[in-house]
Structure 1
Amino acid sequence: MPKPGNAALASLIRFTQDTRLLALHTPAGPELLAECARGEEAISAGFRFRIDALSTDSHLSLRSLLGQPVLLQLLTAESRDSHRAFHGHVTAAELAGSDGGFARYLLTVEPWTAFMALGRDSRVFQDMDVIEILETIFRRYQGKARLDPAWRIEVADRAVYPRRSLTTQYQESDLAFVERLLHEEGLFHYFEHEGNPGSPSRGKHTMVIADHNGTFRRNRRARVEFTQPGAVMKADSIDRWRTEARMLANAIDLDTWDYRAAQTRPVNADEWNADGPPLRSRDMPGMYAYPSRVQGNRLAEIQLQALQARRVVHVCAGTVRTLMPGTTFTLRGHALFDRERDDEARTFLATRVVHLMHNNLPAELLGEVTDLLGPGPTARTLLADRELQAVGARKVERPLYRNCAEAILSSIPYRKSSKDDSGQSLHPRPTVQGQQTAIVVGPPGSLVHTDRDHRIKVQFHWQRGTVSHSRLEHPSPEGHTGAPGNDLAGTWVRVVAPVAGANWGASFIPRVGQEVLVDFLDGDIDRPVAIASLYNGRGQTDAQHNQVHCGAGPATGNAPPWFAGEEGGHAHPAVLSGFKSQAMGASQLGTDAYSQLVFDDSPGQSGLGLQRHQRAHDGMAELNLGYLRHRADNQRLATVGAGAELKTAHAAALRAGDGLLLAAGIQDGARQQLGSAASGQIEQCCQLQDDLAERARGHQAVLSGEPSRDALPALAAMRQTAKALAGTAAGRSGSDGGDACRATAYGEALLQVWSPAGIVAVSPANVILAAEQTGSLTAGGDVGVVAQGNMSVMAVAGISLFSYGKVDDKARPLQETGMKFHAASGRLSLQSQSAASRFVADKSISVASIAKSVTVRAPKKHVLLTAQGACIRLEGGNIEVHAPGKVEFKAGKKELGGPQKATSEVKLPQPGELKLCEMRAAGAASAGDGIVPVS
Structure 2
Amino acid sequence: AFIRRLCRFAGIFWFIRAGKRDGADSDTPVHTLVFCDNPMLLPQAPAGTVPYHHGAAVKDSDSITLLAAARSLVPGGVRRASSDYKTGKMDVAEFDTIIDQGEAGNDLAALLTDWVIDPPHAGDSRDDYTGLAKARILAHEHRAECMHGASDVRNLPPGTWFTPSGHREIDNRKPEDRQHIVVNLRHRAVNNFPKALGEQAQTLFAASRWQFDPLPLGEDGQSRYENTFVCVRRGVPLTPAFDPRIDFPPVEPFSAWVVAGQGESVHCDEYGRIKVQIPGLHPDDHAHAQGTGTSGTARDSAWVRLLSPWAGPNHGLDMLPRAGMEVLIGHLGGDPDKMIVLGTVHGGPNRPATFSGVGSLPGNKHVTGIKTQEIDGTGFGQLRFDDTSGKVSSQLASTHAGTELNLGYLTHPRTNGHAKDRGEGAELATRAAAVVRALQGLMLTTFAFDAGHQLDRDHLNKLLAEGLELFKALGDYAGQHGGTAADTAAQDQLASILKNWAPSGANGGAANDAQAILAFGAAAGSINLTPKTHVTYAGQNIDQVAQQHLQLTSGQRFNAFAGQGMHLFARGQGIQAIANEGPLVLQAQADALMATAQKGIKLAANDQVVITGKTLRFVAEDGSSITIGDGGITLHTNGAFKALAGAHDWGGPAADSAPHADFGKAPTDQRFRAHYAGDTEAPIAYAANQPHDIRLPDGSRIKGKSDGGGLTDTLKDNAMRIARINMFMPTL
Question: What is the TM-score when the length of structure 1 is the normalising length?
Answer: 0.41
Q: 1:432 to 1:595 in 2, by over 3 A?
A: same
Residues 76-155 of structure 1 aligned to structure 2 (within 5 Å)? none
The one-letter amino acid paired with 1:602 is T
Contact 1:563 1:574 in 2 (8 A): no
Residue pairs, 1:319-330, within 5 angstroms: 319-330=152-163
Residue number in structure 2 paired with 1:354: 186
User: 1-side partners of 2:200 and 2:361: how far apart?
Assistant: 86
Distance 1:493 1:418, change over 3 A: closer
Alignment of 1:277-356 (within 5 A): 277=107, 278=110, 279-340=112-173, 342-356=174-188
Q: 1:599 aligns with which of 385, 396, 400?
A: 385
Q: Which residue of structure 2 aligns with residue 494 of structure 1?
A: 305
Deviation string for 1:645-703 (max 9, x for gaps)?
4479xxxxxxxxxxxxxxxxxxxxxxxxxxxxxxxxxxxxxxxxxxxxxxxxxxxxxxx
**Which residue number corresponds to residue 912 of structure 1?**
none
CA distance in 2, matches of 1:499, 1:633: 34
Contact 1:564-1:570 within 8 A present in 2 as well: no
Secondary structure of 1:234's counterpart equals: coil
Structure 2 residue corresponding to 1:525, chosen from 312, 324, 336: 336
Select the residue among 315, 321, 328 that pairs with 1:510.
Answer: 321
Residues in 1 aligned to 2:156 and 2:37: alpha-carbon distance in whole angstroms: 21
Task: Look up the SS of the partner of 1:599 in the other structure.
Answer: strand
**What is the 5 A alignment of 1:880-919?**
none
Kept in 2: contact 1:454–1:495 (CA 8 A):
yes
RMSD (Å) for aligned C-alpha atoms: 3.7
Q: Distance in 2 between matches of 1:411 and 1:571?
A: 71
Give the conservation status (yes or no) of the 8 Å contact 2:14–2:34: yes
Q: Which letter does structure 1 place at the counterpart of 2:188?
A: L
Instruction: Verify the 8 A CA contact 2:356 2:413 in the aligned structure 1.
Output: no
CA positional deviation for 1:410:
0.3
CA contact (8 A) 1:254 1:283 kept: yes
Task: Measure, in 1, the Cα distance between the counterparts of 2:291 and 2:276.
Answer: 17
Report the 3-state secondary structure (helix = DSSP H, G, I; strand = E; otherwise coil) of the residue aligned with 1:447: coil
C-alpha distance in 2 between matches for 1:580 and 1:314: 69
Q: Quote the offset at 1:280 in angstroms.
A: 1.5
Q: Is the 8 A contact 2:70 2:146 kept in 1?
A: yes
CA distance in 2, matches of 1:270, 1:570: 63
CA distance in 2 between counterparts of 1:196 and 1:577 reads 68
- Conserved 8 A contact 1:256-1:289: yes
Q: Residue 931 of structure 1 corresponds to which residue in structure 2?
A: none
- 1:188 maps to what in 2? 13
Give the corresponding residue for 1:611.
Answer: 397
Does the 8 A contact of 1:195 with 1:203 survive in 2? yes
Q: Does 1:561 align with 2:354?
A: yes
Q: Secondary structure at the match of 1:631?
A: coil
Query: For residues 339 and 266 of structure 2, what CA distance do their matches in structure 1 show?
Result: 19
Deviation at 1:209, TM superposition (A): 1.0
Residue 236 of structure 2 aligns with an amino acid whose one-letter code is: I
Q: Percent identity?
A: 26
* Cα pair 2:364 2:414 within 8 Å, conserved: no
Could you give the per-residue CA deviations for residues 185-219 of structure 1, whole angstroms, max 9, x where no partner exists? 10111233334899777143321112111331111
Structure 1 632/452 Cα, relative in aligned 2: closer, same or farther at 3 Å? farther
Q: Does the CA contact (< 8 Å) of 1:629 and 1:639 recur in 2?
A: yes
Q: Which residue number in structure 1 is paired with residue 232 of structure 2?
A: 408
Question: Quick one: structure 1 residues 240 and 385, their matched pair in 2 at CA, closer, same or farther if it must change by over 3 Å?
Answer: farther
What corresponds to 1:76 in structure 2?
Answer: none
Residues in 1 aligned to 2:87 and 2:221: alpha-carbon distance in whole angstroms: 68
1:585-615: CA deviations, max 9, x gaps? 25xxxxx22222222333443333333325x
Shift of 1:184: 0.6
Distance 1:246 1:506, change over 3 A: closer
How many Å separate the matches in 1 of 2:149 and 2:17?
A: 22
CA 1:184/1:594 → structure 2, altered by over 3 Å: closer, same or farther? same
Letter in 1 for 2:213: A
Structure 2: which amino acid aligns with 1:239? T
Deviations 1:127-179 (A, max 9, x none): xxxxxxxxxxxxxxxxxxxxxxxxxxxxxxxxxxxxxxxxxxxxxxxxx1111
1:621–1:179 Cα change, 3 Å = same
User: Aligned pairs, how many?
Assistant: 421
Aligned pairs for 1:11-26 (under 5 A) are none
Instruction: In structure 2, give the amino acid aligned to 1:187.
Output: I
Change (3 A) 1:561 1:224: same
Aligned counterpart, 1:432: 251
- Letter of the structure 1 residue corresponding to residue 281 of structure 2: R
Once residues 78 and 394 of structure 2 are traced to their aligned partners in structure 1, the CA distance between those partners, rounded to angstroms, is 59
1:266 match: secondary structure: strand
Q: 2: CA distance between counterparts of 1:290 and 1:600? A: 50
User: What is the identity, as a one-letter code, of the residue corresponding to 2:148?
Assistant: V
* Uncovered stretches (5+) of structure 2, i.e. residues with no partner: 431-732
Deviation at 1:562, TM superposition (A): 4.2
Question: Contact 1:358 / 1:400 at 8 angstroms: preserved in 2?
Answer: yes
Choose from 75, 80, 90 the match for 1:249.
75
What secondary structure does 1:522 align onto? Answer: helix
TM-superposed CA distance for 1:480, in Å, is: 6.6
Equivalents in 2 of 1:286, 1:306: separation in Å?
Answer: 20
> Does the aligned pair in 2 maintain the 1:355–1:404 contact within 8 Å?
yes
Stretch deviating more after TM superposition (190-199 or 597-606): 190-199
Distance (Å, rounded) in 2 between the aligned partners of 1:334 and 1:381:
37
* Structure 1 pair 524–383 and aligned structure 2 pair: CA distance change class (3 A): closer
Q: Which residue does 1:10 correspond to in 2? A: none
2:406 to 607, 613, 624: 624
- The higher radius of gyration belongs to 1
Structure 2 distance, partners of 1:621, 1:417, is 63
Distance 1:350 1:634, change over 3 A: same
Tell me the secondary structure at the aligned position of residue 47 of structure 2: strand
Equivalent residue runs for 1:782-931 within 5 Å: none
**Structure 1 residue 443 corresponds to structure 2 residue 261:** yes
Query: Which of 580, 583, 588 lines up with 2:371 in the alignment?
Result: 580
Mapped contact 1:613–1:621 kept (Cα < 8 A):
yes
Q: Given that residues 441 and 487 in structure 1 are in contact (C-alpha distance below 8 angstroms), is that contact kept between their aligned partners in structure 2?
A: yes
What amino acid maps onto 1:527 in structure 2? K
Q: CA deviation at 1:298?
A: 1.6
